[in-house]
Homo-oligomer: A and B are copies of this chain.
């Protein structure tokens, strides 16, 4: 049995969902690093992208590297000698928190498509309940990246006064049509896989092909053309590595994508993917007051750091600018950092030195 640092927080039951329905006996998985001060004022909450677990970095109970290993830990950019860091597995995921792959207590079987419609506001409410459950009235910092950045905006707009400062990374105040198009196509690839079977798959009949296409399309849009020119160019696989089938893989870039897909396909539940993907499309801060600007105006933080990447085609820099401008207009002291990292949307997972420097400088001034 592998090490496991997850703790579980029981959500209020029933837990009402924004679009109707409620969850009974739902819970969140989370991990923590560092120690909460006596005055409970040194907590940082991290909200993740669509697929990561709560295991952002190694800790005592689970020394395996986390998805943000180089960012987070004693003496690192987010210094857990100073900060008490919480990372939560989003509601609707399959990494310990309740989601479509969890058992529905009403039936004794997995929810599958009986899971109620999920929104990022629900994920934010659940995260807020966890923070309160840990006895924290006000977060020192709420940090969200990608989908987690949207969840963070939902958290902030619905719980004014609950956060001192905010770090927003490569995210959006509302889903734009290009991102919706990509995600819609990812969902379609899964839904069209006969093995998806309206959500009723199992280990034997599993929508592997659909998940593979969805993941590859994700990776294509998470990185950048510029990075790949330098990294893969037109390098071909050795002939013994090529697939022996018509139109099989031939270039390194194709096997790179295949590797990503292979690692993902069985490690993330397809129905959870569909629910979280759609929740991202639905998210729109303009629901709060009629426009994104007005939604941001309802967010009250003292300071904010907004980081974006020029090569990000999924969450373009213009949207980071929109967030920064809106938070500033709302009275926050805002710093916008536009990085020219070649790694596109994924840069926050890869270009740790630059993201880390910006984050450490921001936290250092607190």
Give the interface of A toward B (CB within 8 A).
Answer: 113, 174-182, 184-185, 187-189, 191-192, 194, 198-199, 209, 212-213, 216-217, 220, 224-225, 228-229, 231-234, 246-247, 249-254, 257, 274, 278, 281, 284, 286, 313, 316
Q: Does B213 contact A178, Cβ atoms closer than 8 Å? A: no
Q: Are A192 and B177 interface neighbours, CB within 8 A?
A: no
Distance in Å from the Cβ of A237 to the closest Cβ of chain B? 12
Min CB gap A194→B, angstroms: 7
Once A216-B188, A228-B176 are accepted as A-B contacts, the answer to whether A181 and B313 lie under 8 Å apart by CB is: no
Oligomer copy total: 2
List, sorted by A's number, 10 A–B pairs whose CB atoms are closer than 8 Å.
Answer: A177-B229, A177-B231, A177-B252, A185-B257, A188-B213, A189-B213, A192-B213, A198-B246, A225-B313, A234-B286
Assess whether B213 is in contact with A181, with CB atoms less than 8 Å apart: no
Taking CB as reference atom, which chain B residue is nearest A178?
A: B225
A20 to B137, CA, bound (A): 73
What CA separation (Å) do A114 and B232 show in the bound complex? 31
Query: A62 to nearest B CB, angstroms?
Result: 34
Please pick, from B174, B182, B185, B254, the residue contacting A184 in the complex, using a CB distance under 8 A.
B254
What are the residues of chain B within 8 A of A217 when measuring CB–CB?
Answer: 185, 217
Residue of B nearest to A257 (CB): B181
**Residue with the greatest number of chain B CB neighbours at <10 A, chosen from A184, A199, A232, A313:** A184
A188-B213, A213-B192, A225-B316 known; A278-B178 Cβ under 8 A: no
Find out whether the CB atom of B177 lies under 8 angstroms from the CB atom of A216: no
Q: A113-B246, A234-B175, A234-B284 are in contact. Are A254 and B213 (CB under 8 A)?
A: no
5 closest Cβ pairs, A-B complex: A178-B225, A177-B228, A177-B253, A177-B232, A192-B209
Question: Residues of B contacting A229 with CB < 8 Å?
Answer: 176-178
Query: How far apart sit A284 and B181, CA to CA, in the bound complex (Å)?
Result: 31
Give the one of A113, A188, A232, A233 with max B CB within 10 A: A188
Chain B residue nearest to A249 (CB atoms) is B184
Measured between beta carbons, the chain B residues less than 8 angstroms from A247 are: 187, 191, 274, 278
Q: Assuming A176-B229, A178-B228, A191-B246, what are 17 further A-B pairs, CB within 8 angstroms?
A: A174-B234, A176-B228, A177-B225, A177-B228, A177-B229, A178-B225, A178-B229, A180-B234, A180-B253, A181-B253, A187-B247, A188-B213, A188-B216, A192-B212, A192-B213, A225-B313, A247-B274
Residues from chain B with Cβ under 8 Å of A254 in the complex: 180-181, 184
Smallest CB-CB separation from A221: which chain B residue?
Answer: B220
